[in-house]
Structure 1
Amino acid sequence: MGRLLDIVTPLHRMTKRDYIARMVDDKVTCMLKAKEYEVDYWDGDRRFGYGGYRYLPGRWTPVAQALIDTYGLTNESSVLDVGCGKAFLLYELKQLLPGLKIAGFDTSKHGLAEAKPEVRDYLFSYKAQDRYPYGDKSFDLVISLATFHNLRLFELETALQEVERVGKQAYVMLESYRNEQELFNLQCWALTAESFLDTAEWIWLYNHFGYNGDYEFIYME
């Protein structure tokens, strides 16, 4: 197994969440809409997802810088983002390292269309649970943020093994919980999650599927 990192957690903690309000707001209907991963999920009402996922200058810069520092990325490096969404992180990486070779994919047509023009040509529509269209060790780093908990258990094997296969280094961040309160909060808040596992279960799963990359968990505290 790789390292347990703390890269996205500071950014995650900046957002306030009303867990009970989401749970009692016709949540099943909201889940079905969110799982379309289109306009309502990204830029519709907050009850369906992000409630307006817009580019904010500097918001993702600390995460991008932490990835550069942690993995020794340079202008000669290459990065693949699995489940890139609007690819704001890839954009920030390119701002810091203009020569960085990037690629990203997502299933959301709206998300990809709303990416910054500077990175849009490097993005494409694809599923995280399918075999990736790249050769072994094609990228210096493969990342996936807040995506894999949206896969079912039988889909995670391929996803994790593909991250391991195409990347020389790997980093996966997803939602988890450490106690009953965090599990309750997660169940209230999550609209698209399919796999609700505590940290020990995720680590067991990583080992079971042969994932040896780095990882991080975010919690609904």
Structure 2
Amino acid sequence: MAYVDFISAVHKSTKRDYVKRVNEYPKAEAAQKAKEWGYDYWDGDRRICYGGYTYDGRWEKVARAMVEHYKLKPGDRILDVGCGKGFLLYDFTKVLPGIEVAGIDISGYAIKNAKEEVKDYLKVGHAGELPFEDNSFDLVVSITTLHNLYCMDFDRALREIQRVGKKNKYMCVESYRNEQEKVNLLYWQVTCEMFCTPDEWQWWFDTTGYTGDHSFIYFE
């Protein structure tokens, strides 16, 4: 198990005004709408969440880095837990033709509006009940998803990722290292349910027997 950072460059490419975020739209209303995981979450008002989640190729460099790091080859299978509209999985197919992809997401809206090239490989489901056999995938990834679960569901999800993956697994979650980053996270997020420091996340990894890699994003 190692700390491997594939995500922070993408995360830091977005400029954030945390005070404006918490003041310009009723926070409880934004969270309520976002947690329906529908239009408002993905393609609605930017003050609620993404404000239009469209493909722009930004995940291709992440896919390429993962292919190289995990030495993936054509015919290997990748699962994305919390795949959204499938943009990362599509970029995997661009970077490594012949790779087999699968994705699962709680959002029926995201699956319905997924990238056409990979839509047939995506399904609606919960991270805590992955509908796949043991040791089914050469790489299982979950990026900025699992912190949206309550702790009991997070426990189940991490054990499920451990079960369906072979050797290679990777997850990225939100975290904080000081009071400023905690406040920024609270101001910005609309769906997070687990607010953990790196040491607390490590406790969860140890408790669930998760043996994959991980990284964190911080709201600096």
Instruction: State the match for 2:138 in structure 1.
Output: 140
Identity %: 48
Deviation at 1:68, TM superposition (A): 0.2
Instruction: State the match for 1:41 in structure 2.
Output: 41
Amino acid aligned to 1:140: D
Structure 1 stretches of 5 or more lacking a match? none
Q: How many residues align?
A: 218
Q: Is the 8 A contact 1:173 1:217 kept in 2?
A: yes
Deviations 1:133-173 (A, max 9, x none): 21111000100011100001111111001101110111011
Deviations 1:72-102 (A, max 9, x none): 1111211000010011000000011121111
Instruction: State the match for 1:20 in structure 2.
Output: 19
Amino acid aligned to 1:149: H
Structure 2 stretches of 5 or more lacking a match? none
Instruction: State the match for 2:52 in structure 1.
Output: 52
Amino acid aligned to 1:44: G
SS at match of 2:102: strand
Counterpart Cα distance in 2 of 1:138 and 1:209? 19
TM-score by length of 1: 0.97
Deviations 1:21-46 (A, max 9, x none): 12122100000000011111100011
Amino acid aligned to 1:180: E
Instruction: State the match for 1:216 in structure 2.
Output: 215
Counterpart Cα distance in 1 of 2:60 and 2:115? 15
Q: Is the 8 A contact 1:23 1:189 kept in 2?
A: yes
Instruction: State the match for 2:188 in structure 1.
Output: 189
Counterpart Cα distance in 1 of 2:48 and 2:34? 5
Deviation at 1:106, TM superposition (A): 0.5
Deviation at 1:215, TM superposition (A): 0.3
Please list every run of at least 4 consecutive aligned residues from structure 1 whose deviation after the TM superposition is greater than 6 angstroms: none
SS at match of 1:118: coil
Q: CA RMSD in A?
A: 0.8
TM-score by length of 2: 0.97
Amino acid aligned to 2:144: A
Counterpart Cα distance in 2 of 1:61 and 1:153? 31
Counterpart Cα distance in 2 of 1:107 and 1:205? 22
Instruction: State the match for 1:164 in structure 2.
Output: 162
Counterpart Cα distance in 2 of 1:113 and 1:66? 28
